[in-house]
Structure 1
Amino acid sequence: MTTETAKTAEPARLGRKRDHSRDPEILDAALDVLAEVGYESMTVDMVATRAKAGKATLYRRWSSKADLVVDAIACLKRPVTPDGGPYVPPDTGTLRGDLVAMVKPKVVSDSNRHLKIMLGVTSMLSSEPQLLETLTEIMIKPRIESYRVVMQRAIDRCEVRPDIDIELLSSLGPAMAMYRSLYERQAPSRESIINLIDTVILPAVGLSAPPQGAHE
């Protein structure tokens, strides 16, 4: 068999199939590093070390630090059901019940980490302003859509009048959470968001909050 024949007979090499099974660990490590050192000081090598993964693995999967952080933020912000399906806002039968049910309790350590990640995102946008639209799609719009869904439910059940400004009201919760994180440098607490629901959103649609002391 000639050399040329041997080359023809040899099966084509397809290359090693990429293993994405460790992606969640790597992305979580990226968030940890982002929270600890900020975007400017963060490196892909630091993430590889934290995740105990080969540097080549990360560089094959993500072509830049920005790509890695965007994927990590997307995983952090992607709401899912316990079985991994797409997130559907809770339907409790009332607008307030739905809005409050969307506000997940967080322990202090989770809130502090979230705040540091948000501050890291701020520094990222200073370095990579072209990513603003991408991060808005990831971080803001899904939350606005959840509010929009529960507002429409309230209209459909005739709980609120049909002419309410759904777009404006749906943006209030996410906007205040981002403002508190990025400008006041405080993690938005469950209590502060529920207070926004009771003192701003409900009165805006003509509903009253429960009596003082009956709040969650």
Structure 2
Amino acid sequence: MTQDDPTAGHTVPDDDGDGGGTVHRRPGRKPDPRRDAEIMEAALQVLAEVGYTGMTMNAVAARAKAGKGTFYRRWPSKAELVLDAIGHMKRSQVDLDRLPDTGTLRGDILALFKPTSAEDGEYQLTIMAGLASMLSQDRGFAEAANDAIVEPWAAANRVLLSRAMSRGEINATADIETLAQIIPSIAAYRALIQRKPFDRDFLVAIIDGVLLPAVRP
């Protein structure tokens, strides 16, 4: 084998499921961000179609037209692949370097919201249902799931809340760390537990009924 062989130096599990066996690695080719993104998108598509239990690494490999060794070099288990894929999806929805600056906290948070079509909304809910199924099987991934689905939006809200505090718009003693998690945490609960879309009307209700009353000077 040469170093260009994606399975070189790896002990790849033979199962077609979680990939739970030990994986021995040695340095190989550098990760390709574009290729990784394609693989993660393929993983989301398979997850949405067959659910977490029916999802296999082989199915994702076939969808992404990639060798199985590629997956086990980057993701030792399908759970880790799912978490990375969902995290990538969430991070792609918010750009911390280009956050809205409307002059008000309410305007900024509303400007973060990106409407989706009914089809896209259903697709994302199906993906989140797959994540919920995974977490019900292994609660050990709860922290990683929080990092994937809550933290990208919480990071954006920290910036917006800090700006609002600098403007004197919100209480100078407001707990920004806690407040930044309110909306993304409710959104995650709504998607994972209630299986409902997080639409603009619901966002407005949370901003006006929960967040703004909590931060007013």
Common topology (TM > 0.5) = yes
Report deviation, 1:18: 5.7
TM-score where L is the length of structure 2? 0.78
Aligned partner of 1:49 in structure 2 is: 62
Match of 2:180 in 1: 170
Aligned counterpart, 1:78: 91
- Cα distance, 1:197–1:72 mapped onto 2, change above 3 Å: same
CA distance 1:171–1:157, shift in 2 (3 Å) = same
Q: Distance in 1 between the 2:103 and 2:46 partners?
A: 41
Q: Deviation at 1:28?
A: 0.4
Separation in 1, partners of 2:98, 2:128: 24
Match among 177, 184, 187 for residue 194 of structure 2 = 184
Q: Could you tell me which residue of structure 2 aligns to residue 9 of structure 1?
A: none
Structure 2 counterpart of 1:25, from 38, 59, 74: 38
- In the superposition, relative to structure 1, how do residues 59 and 155 fare at CA in structure 2: closer, same or farther (>3 Å)? closer
Is contact 1:118-1:181 (8 Å) kept?
Answer: yes
Amino acid at match of 2:166: D
CA contact (8 A) 2:87 2:147 kept: no
Which residues of 2 match residues 25-174 of structure 1 at below 5 A?
25-79=38-92, 86-174=96-184
Does residue 15 of structure 1 match 2:3?
yes
Residue range with higher mean Cα deviation, 13-22 or 96-105: 13-22
Q: Work out whether residues 96 and 156 of structure 2, in 8 Å CA contact, stay in contact via their aligned partners in 1.
A: no
Greater Rg over alpha carbons, structure? 1
Q: CA RMSD in A?
A: 2.3
| Residues 149, 188 of structure 2: 8 Å contact kept | no
- Inter-partner Cα distance in structure 1 for 2:207 and 2:69: 47
Q: Give the whole-Å Cα distance in 2 for the aligned partners of 1:135 and 1:103.
A: 21
Tell me, in whole angstroms, the C-alpha distance in 2 between the residues paired with 1:80 and 1:87.
12
Unpaired segments of 5 or more residues in structure 2?
A: 5-28
Residue by residue over 1:87-121, the C-alpha shift from the partner in whole angstroms, topping out at 9 and shown as x without a partner, is: 45322111111111111111111111111111111
**Which amino acid in 2 is paired with 1:94?**
T
Identity of aligned residues (%): 45
**Shift in alpha-carbon separation, 1:152–1:61, aligned structure 2, 3 A:** closer
* C-alpha distance in structure 1 between counterparts of 2:187 and 2:175, whole Å: 20
Which residue does 2:215 correspond to in 1? 205
Cα distance 1:162–1:41, how it changes in 2: closer, same or farther (>3 A)?
Answer: same
Structure 1 SS opposite 2:181 = helix
State the TM-score, normalized to the length of structure 1: 0.78
Does the CA contact (< 8 Å) of 1:31 and 1:72 recur in 2? yes
Counterpart CA distance in 1 for 2:108 and 2:170 is 14
Structure 1 62/91 Cα, relative in aligned 2: closer, same or farther at 3 Å? same
Conserved? CA contact 1:80–1:86, under 8 Å: no
